[in-house]
Structure formats: structure tokens, C-alpha cells
Structure 1
């Protein structure tokens, strides 16, 4: 259902608030929160905190992506899209798909693998060190000695990499949409 006429002031403010909140949250989680935590708390605590934050974060990004796409699509009929509006709606759609995959599949799979790895690490006295470089030799030795741990680590790294890539692409999509919105502000 296409909305009639120009969006009202409340719709414009809501749209910008949702878009900027989503991008700001993504920027904070991607470039600040994780780096601060990994340098300040033990590895297993870091993993636990991430496993609690990411479901909420992933679903919040998903909701914002849906709302942004819905509002934008309501005021930009597909038949009348300019080339820049086509790019913008595609970016919103891409963000929606990637955030859904991340929130519902990749992030939970990453956490599941991480918890299995942590159980094995605890058996070997690992996980209490602060920072990724701490006791690197102990983790390397564990990978070499335990094929189950090595397989879990590969699975974790694969899902973590895909999840991080989805998150980064969503961040870029929303950043590009902020740029488009700023450049085309009068026509929102």
C-alpha cells in the first residue's frame, strides 16, 4: 500500500531517527564495544557478554531495517523510483536480508560453537586470560592435540566470519542510506 502525498514531519523524523539509531548502534557494536571488552575482561566473559548482547542487537537491527524499508517503500512507489531511489531501496532490502540471516542463523550458530569450545578450553585451564594474544601457545597446543576442538574452532571461525561480514555489509548499507538521505533530504 503506497502512502499518498509527501510524508509528514513525524514520518520524516521517525525515519531519520530509526536509520540513525540503527547505524549508530551498528557502528558502536562493530568498532568500539568488542574492542573495549576483549582488552578488559577474560575471554570466556567476553564470549558470554557477546552471546547475551548479540541476539538483542541482531533483532534490533532487523527491526530497524524492516521499519526503514517499510517507510521508504510506502512513500516511493516502485514504478516511480529514480535511479538513486532504486539504489536506496535496494540497500534497505539488502540490509533487511543480511540482518535477518545474521540474527536468526549466523549469530546463534556462532554462539553455539563458542560455548562448545569454551567447555573444552575450561577442561584445559584456558579461558580466563584477558586479550586475544594471551596464552596463544596454550590455544595452539589445544588445537594441535584435540581434533574435536580444532573442528569446533573451524566451525566457529566460519560462522563468526560470515556473521561479521553480514554485520559489516549492513553497516555499509545503512551508512550509504544515511548519505543518500542527507543528499536528498528535501525529497525524503
Structure 2
């Protein structure tokens, strides 16, 4: 007899139906979140930056990052819901600052808050600042006043972009912490 479930059972419809559990759904959703959190900032954006010219890269980033933040927000919220559904006491453990609560639902809440903030606040702010800067740069008026305005917009953009990057990095560490936790304790 194997320690792995289903290893000794023949494949059947009953076995396949049995895969549709909350645990299975949670594993798929969290795996999706984990993969996205690693791929988009560390690989996808880096590859695009190296392969595309600046205008094409900017257009691609403007289209992909909001989708990434939306999906991360939705997936982390779904995982939080499934954890709560499996054990409503998980929030009590979080509020009592217990390791299990912090590493299970707390880490997912950190992802949710960081990515929702990026999606709803910081992302639109950076897009607006880039649009304003591009409008000034392409405008008919040139001179020191326009240059100073472009510099001010660039400085503000870099600051907000930095905050956004830190929030995304924080979400990455939270996802990794959660993955290590469920690797040890299991999702439920």
C-alpha cells in the first residue's frame, strides 16, 4: 500500500470525480497565483524589456500589469475564501497572531491588499503620470518650463512606481511564505 493517495487505484470515473474537491480547487488556484507572481515580474517583464523597443515595451506593460494585478487580487481572495470555508476559525488564529493564521490567511491577505492597491490605486496613478509626461514631451511648447514639468512628473512617477514595486515584492514574499507553509502543513 502506497502512502500517496490513489497510487494503487485504477483510473475510473469515480476517481476522477473525487478530484473535484475544495483541496484540489485550492491547489489549482494557489498554483496559478504562485506561478503568476514569479513569472510576470521576474521573467515576463524582463524578457519584454530586453526584446522590445521603449514604446512597445511601455504599451505591453500598460496592458499586462493591470491584468496581473486583477488576477492576483481575485486569486488571493478566492484562496482566502476557501481557507475560511474549510475552517472559519482561521481568522481567529490570524487575529491572535498565531503562526498558522499568519502564514495561511495572513500571507494571502497581504497579497490581496498589495495587489488590489496596485490594481486600483498605484497602477492608474502611474499610467496617468506617464500619459501627462508623454503629452508634455510631444507638445509644441518647448523650453525650461516644460523641461521642469517633465522632470517633476518623472520624479513623481518613479516614486509611485517604486512604491508599486515594493508592494509587488511584498506580495511575492507573502506568496512564497504561504507556499512554504502549505508545503509543511497542507492547505487545510
Q: Into which bin does the TM-score normalised by the smaller protein fall?
A: 0.7 to 0.9
**Separation in 2, partners of 1:47, 1:61:** 21
**Which runs of 4 or more aligned residues in structure 1 lie more than 2 Å from their structure 2 counterparts after TM superposition?**
78-84, 115-124, 142-145
Q: 1:9–1:180: structure 2 CA closer, same or farther, 3 Å change rule? A: farther
Equivalent in the alignment of 2:157: 156
Is 2:99 aligned against 1:84? yes
Shift of 1:175: 1.2
Does 1 or 2 have the higher relative contact order (CA < 8 Å, sep 6+)?
1
Q: Tell me, which stretches of 5 or more residues in structure 2 are unaligned?
A: 1-18
Indicate the larger mover: 63-72 or 91-100: 91-100
Equivalent in the alignment of 1:165: 166
Is 2:119 aligned against 1:119? no
Equivalent in the alignment of 1:180: 181
Question: Which of 79, 100, 108 is residue 68 of structure 1 equivalent to?
Answer: 79
Query: What TM-score, normalized by structure 2, do the two folds share?
Result: 0.78
Indicate the larger mover: 91-100 or 62-71: 91-100
1:1-188 pair list within 5 angstroms: 10-76=21-87, 77-78=89-90, 81=93, 83-87=98-102, 88-122=104-138, 146-185=147-186, 188=188
Number of residues of Structure 1 aligned to a counterpart in Structure 2: 163
Indicate the larger mover: 22-31 or 115-124: 115-124
Query: Which SS does the other structure have where 2:177 is aligned?
Result: helix
**Separation in 1, partners of 2:144, 2:108:** 41
Shift of 1:80: 6.5
**Separation in 2, partners of 1:143, 1:173:** 45
Q: 1:119–1:42: structure 2 CA closer, same or farther, 3 Å change rule? A: farther
Aligned-residue RMSD, C-alpha:
2.5
Shift of 1:122: 4.3
Q: Tell me, which stretches of 5 or more residues in structure 1 are unaligned?
A: 1-7, 125-141
Shift of 1:91: 1.0
**Separation in 1, partners of 2:165, 2:53:** 21
Q: 1:143–1:17: structure 2 CA closer, same or farther, 3 Å change rule? A: farther
**Separation in 2, partners of 1:57, 1:145:** 34
Query: Which SS does the other structure have where 1:172 is aligned?
Result: helix
Shift of 1:56: 1.1
Query: Which SS does the other structure have where 1:32 is aligned?
Result: helix
